């Protein structure tokens, strides 16, 4: 009988090389899968944050209001009115009917003043974020607010425009504190947020808010 022939050195080396190649391909496939999974999860987190943050901004703008019930002797100028709407191209503040009391027996109502703007995030070095502050009691200092919180992190820009029904166009500013719109709120507010996506590149997200009460309460 002929003795069985073993593997030559060349055959062994080829087999090892093929096995190593297959292992490398399998590892690359797994690594790509893990990376894709991480990107999908990062994208989902960004959209979740945007949905919650922009949803809150839209909801609160829709509840903006101004009131005609104030003491004209005490508040003689539009600048001094306790309720107002002050919208700039990159920040906004207004009185709204959407405050929720978090403390029992707190001397608060459903009225408050909220502020939104993009500024340096104190909790993340070198990062700018869309930040919000709510003043739960409307008083003689409506522009003073404490307790700012981050609504959307890593935001590059907030752009706001306001729909002027009379001019039938979007305008960059709208304030009831001036002479142009002392008793009128815009029908809609266009909101554009530029935020980095899962690849670290800036991406613009756009939505609109429709204001329910565009004329003063009590008129």
- Given a cut of 60, whether residue 148 has pLDDT beyond it is yes
pLDDT score of 25: 72
pLDDT score of 72: 61
Q: Which residue has the higher pLDDT, 28 or 115?
A: 115
Whole-model pTM: value is: 0.77
State the DSSP H helix or E strand holding residue 141, giving kind and residue range, or none if neither.
none
Distances (CA, A) of 63 to 30, 108, 116, 170, 199: 49, 17, 15, 20, 35
pLDDT score of 34: 62
| Percentage of residues of the chain with pLDDT beyond 90 | 46
Beta strands per DSSP E along 121-199: 128-135, 149-152, 155-164, 169-171, 174-175, 188-196
Distance CA 181, CA 125 (A): 39
What are 36-95's pLDDT values in tens digits? 667 667 677 888 888 999 999 999 999 999 988 765 655 556 666 789 999 999 999 999
pLDDT score of 29: 65
pLDDT score of 3: 54
Can you tell me which residue has the tokens 């522009």?
143
pLDDT score of 123: 87
What are 162-194's pLDDT values in tens digits? 999 999 999 999 999 888 888 899 999 999 999
Using CB atoms within 10 Å of the CB of residue 133, give its burial: 0 to 12 exposed, 13 to 18 middle, 19+ buried: middle
């Amino acid at each position: 009988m002929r003795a069985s022939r073993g593997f030559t050195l060349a055959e062994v080396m080829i087999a090892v090389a093929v096995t190593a190649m297959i292992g490398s391909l399998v590892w690359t496939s797994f690594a790509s899968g893990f990376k894709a999974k991480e990107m999908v999860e990062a994208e989902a987190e960004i959209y979740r944050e945007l949905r919650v943050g922009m949803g809150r901004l839209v909801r609160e703008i829709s509840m903006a209001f101004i009131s005609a019930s104030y003491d004209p002797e005490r508040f003689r100028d539009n600048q001094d009115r306790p309720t107002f709407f002050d919208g700039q191209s990159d920040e906004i503040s207004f009185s709204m009917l959407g405050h929720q009391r978090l403390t029992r027996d707190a001397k608060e109502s459903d009225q408050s003043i909220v502020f939104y703007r993009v500024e340096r995030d104190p909790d993340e070095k070198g990062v700018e974020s869309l930040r919000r502050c709510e003043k739960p009691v409307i008083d003689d200092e409506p522009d003073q607010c404490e307790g700012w919180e981050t609504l959307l992190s890593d935001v590059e820009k907030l752009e706001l425009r306001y729909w002027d029904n009379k001019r039938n166009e979007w305008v960059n500013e709208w304030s009831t504190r001036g002479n142009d719109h002392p008793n009128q709120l815009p029908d809609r507010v266009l909101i554009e947020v530029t935020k980095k996506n899962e690849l670290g590149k800036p991406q613009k997200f756009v939505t609109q808010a429709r204001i329910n009460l565009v004329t003063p309460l009590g008129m």
